[in-house]
Structure 1
Amino acid sequence: MKERINIIGPSASGKTTVAERLSQFTEIELYKTDNLLFELNSAGGLIKTPREDFESKIISIISDNNWILEGKYFSQHVFNRADSIIFTDTNFLLCLENQWKRFFNDENQIDKYGLAKNLRLSINIVRQHSGLYSTKKIQENNRIFSRNKLKVMLLEYEEKLLILKRPEEIEHYLHLFSS
């Protein structure tokens, strides 16, 4: 089992499910980039971590020998350090369905985000998959990477890349570790 795993993908694509189950099966510590990027303020709201602090946290994590890093954030320095890269590239209808299930099945999501926020997240999922806009566009060295550019970027890492496109593929992959 590889010890440095980067799991990336669009919102609600199944990456957290994969990451949490892999962490459970392998006992490798899981780091979620959303938790590194946002911190709770004293009023209980979320504030964005300054970019330099976020980058420092990422560098500290990937300096270790054992980690699972999960989220929409991606960069070449993480890809270079990873032993395995898992891209949950599920279709946008599934992502929308997952987002709505997440929202309606979890009272905390309703309280935390509200209906308007869930609608915005759903619209962003459609935008991510259509290429019109990507919530996972990030600026790295003054360059913007989109979902399509990510796919091109990943070609360089083919030997350590696993792309999971359907829920059955995700379940099959996870079943390999639970046996």
Structure 2
Amino acid sequence: MFNPPLLPGMPDFHDSVEYLRHHRNLSRESTAQKAGFSSSYLNQLIGQRKTPGTAVFDKLVEFFGLDLDPCRHLEDLLQPSGSLESTDELRRRLVNHGVQAHLDWLDQREILGAYTDPLQTVLLANQVLHRMMPGLADCDYNIIRWMLTPIARDRVYGWHGELLDLVRHL
């Protein structure tokens, strides 16, 4: 059974390479040798968080047999994080675009409606959502934080699976 190492923090390129290496039950030395570069370079890559050149990146992708999606994921992990607009700014934009009228229309039909940011913070929502998620304001309107509350556990059918899906998506 594969038992990957527990790596601290958010995953990044270096942790992902380490994960893939462990998944194959290989040492750093044998991974580097089989991928076609030196073990000291792999140690720098993982241990010192060095950014690989294109040739080494391509060798790792080929060695690990990664198809398009995992390869793109590794490429994305090498890019610096983008900054997110503040929730206040995103809310202002939604108000300026007049989306409340659409939320009101959904409310009249008892259809849940909300606009969220990438971190699952509710920017604007209709009354149906607020009835379905009491206490959301106490969680700074963050759905993930709300899902960790006892009320969410009681109200959400299949709570555990829904929580896992939200975390995966995040």
Structure-2-length-normalised TM-score: 0.23
Structure-1-length-normalised TM-score: 0.22
Question: Where is the strand percentage greater, Structure 1 or Structure 2?
Answer: 1
